[in-house]
Amino acid sequence: MDDIILSLGSNIGDREKNLKTALYHIIQNPCISLVAVSNIYNTEPVGYVDQGPFLNLCVSIQTTLNPYELLSSLQNIERLMQRERNIRWGPRNIDIDIIFYRDEVINEENLIIPHPRYKERNFVIIPLLDICEKALIPKFKSMIRQEGRVELYRKFNLNELLEEVKIIQNSKIFL
Contact 107, 90 (CB under 8 A): no
Which of left, alpha, beta for 103 (phi over 0: left; psi -120 to 50: alpha)? alpha
Q: Write down the number of H helices and E strands in the chain.
A: 5, 8
Of the residues 3, 15, 92, 121, only one is catalytic, namely 92
Contact 92, 10 (CB under 8 A): yes
Of the residues 97, 102, 103, 145, only one is catalytic, namely 97
Asked if 95 is an active-site residue, the reply is yes
Asked if 97 is an active-site residue, the reply is yes
Of the residues 15, 50, 79, 83, only one is catalytic, namely 83
- In degrees, rounded to 5, the angle at the alpha carbon of residue 67 between the alpha carbons of residues 65 and 69 is 55
| Residues involved in catalysis | 83, 92, 95, 97
